[in-house]
Structure 1
């Protein structure tokens, strides 16, 4: 078996084929070395990560990324690509000193790729900020979104935000200008069951930080149902003792949550029969009071007849 394999290899690797293979390898290596020695224009992006002293913050948002157009040999570019795409900035060294981004990057990138770099442009052109004392305060959280109930449901209780306030950190000026913190935009529709959801807060910045990135939103709902209840009709004070009305009760229809269905009481309604300017022969029935947990729909009758009992 081994003899057959050896014979096959010998037949394939003839002197001519071996010579040709060596030439191809040398040619490819030469082409690669030539290409890597040439100078190219390329764009790179670097993230700036700031090292801050304790209890210090920025007076304004510093740049968090630098886009750079540069010219360098293929070998230098390969060295840069192999390195991390983030650069540490010692904030205390640049505070209050507008610094050319091109010079700053040249020093940093030169450590990785030597001096064979030519930085053409950077965006932004300058790194500029001043460190100030970090302060803090609490601000309320504001919902920036839509909560839409299914038409057959109502809120059992107000929606809960936890926490309903957060601590923000920044300069005294930034804190004075910030009175609340908003959630990111969201939408929740056709709500028909209880829920607890994590809602992201608006992103903080280097100059204004928060102690939380999200809040929890909790909502409880109740299905709406209809109920009919007979309620006595009272006579207006100006007519009491002078008339008798008929009928003396009305059928009131209301919408309410299921949890209140068995709690509703007749005594929570007040229906008054009072003069109707448009029809002197009858009295109109007006609903003066009803529970705040119901949605009033209608009552029957809307007017009543009367007889004078004391002419």
Structure 2
């Protein structure tokens, strides 16, 4: 391949030409980006001043296109940073009609926007809505959690949520599908004490739904747990023919975990251990012991023995 050899003077001239070209391009870009331009952006419609007695459903997508006037720099940086990507639309006109004309709201829309990024026009200019009577419904709150406890600690009582019900209002067909309302995810790690704080409710995805209140108080009792062992009498069940049955042993040793708070109050009345005589009719030679009742939030570590012997006198 041929190699063009340039003299020192030619190389200096070529370098000067390249420098001038680059400077010219930058000067042109600076001038172009500094001038006022109109460009289209996609904005997410956010509704405010919803009608109090009428539920609404938008008949067009939540996104609209707006023609914005501003410098090229504003256009460039707005697209890079994704700022000002929402537009607030006033729905007070829906109290007596089923559409909203956006061109009449340009002044209040631009009042909250950067003066160098003013909205000139909106497409579509008119938004239409399906309207119906607004209904009200109470539904329970469902707490969404991801809890991780420190070793030897655990939940020691029922989680308390206040209020446990929220009021939602909106179209009847939408409310009919809602049976509960979730909170935002509550993520807690290495818990070693009780939790008590306000948790926000998940915001409605539909603009025609209202949820009150916006947050609830959540109390999660947490305590340290330890092991405890007790002798529990075994009760015979399904002795339908009233046989004279003796079981051995008559008590089993149950080892379980319990919170330090409940440790001194737990006694054998909090447990029920049973042996099923139907197992004998099925050919078993020993009866399995199982617990049918035990304190809440306690966990069984072991039962000794797991099976009991028996004698049936007919």
Please confirm whether the aligned pair reaches a TM-score higher than 0.5, indicating the same fold: yes
In the alignment, which residue of structure 2 is the partner of 1:5?
none
Displacement of 1:207 after TM fit?
A: 0.8
Displacement of 1:218 after TM fit?
A: 1.0
Contact 1:226–1:255 (CA under 8 A) maintained in structure 2: yes
Displacement of 1:196 after TM fit?
A: 1.2
In the alignment, which residue of structure 1 is the partner of 2:289?
286
In the alignment, which residue of structure 2 is the partner of 1:260?
262
Contact 1:61–1:207 (CA under 8 A) maintained in structure 2: no
Structure 1: gaps of 5 or more residues: 1-33, 75-84
In the alignment, which residue of structure 2 is the partner of 1:168?
168
Farther-moved stretch of structure 1 (295-304 vs 201-210): 295-304
Report the Cα distance in structure 1 between the residues aligned to 2:52 and 2:234, rounded to whole angstroms: 73
Report the Cα distance in structure 2 between the residues aligned to 1:279 and 1:109, rounded to whole angstroms: 80
Contact 1:96–1:129 (CA under 8 A) maintained in structure 2: yes
In the alignment, which residue of structure 2 is the partner of 1:296?
300
Q: Say which SS state the counterpart of residue 203 (structure 2) adopts.
A: coil
Q: Say which SS state the counterpart of residue 228 (structure 1) adopts.
A: strand
* Residues 1:108 and 1:163: Cα distance change in structure 2 (over 3 Å): closer
Contact 1:48–1:89 (CA under 8 A) maintained in structure 2: no
From 34, 38, 47, the equivalent of 1:41 is 38
From 96, 102, 117, the equivalent of 2:98 is 96
Q: Say which SS state the counterpart of residue 157 (structure 1) adopts.
A: coil
Q: Give the structure with higher Rg (CA).
A: 1
TM-superposition CA deviations, 1:230-280 (whole Å, max 9, x none): 456799996757x9x6x8765442222223322333464647699999997
In the alignment, which residue of structure 2 is the partner of 1:208?
209
In the alignment, which residue of structure 2 is the partner of 1:224?
225
Normalised by the length of structure 1, the TM-score is 0.57
* Residues 1:51 and 1:272: Cα distance change in structure 2 (over 3 Å): closer
Contact 1:225–1:255 (CA under 8 A) maintained in structure 2: yes
Displacement of 1:209 after TM fit?
A: 0.8
Displacement of 1:95 after TM fit?
A: 3.2
Contact 2:287–2:308 (CA under 8 A) maintained in structure 1: yes
Normalised by the length of structure 2, the TM-score is 0.57
Contact 1:141–1:165 (CA under 8 A) maintained in structure 2: yes
Report the Cα distance in structure 2 between the residues aligned to 1:168 and 1:302, rounded to whole angstroms: 51
Displacement of 1:187 after TM fit?
A: 2.1
Report the Cα distance in structure 1 between the residues aligned to 2:231 and 2:89, rounded to whole angstroms: 77
Structure 2: gaps of 5 or more residues: 1-30, 73-86
Contact 1:63–1:124 (CA under 8 A) maintained in structure 2: no
Report the Cα distance in structure 2 between the residues aligned to 1:165 and 1:208, rounded to whole angstroms: 16
* Residues 1:263 and 1:61: Cα distance change in structure 2 (over 3 Å): farther
Contact 1:250–1:301 (CA under 8 A) maintained in structure 2: yes
Contact 1:51–1:91 (CA under 8 A) maintained in structure 2: no
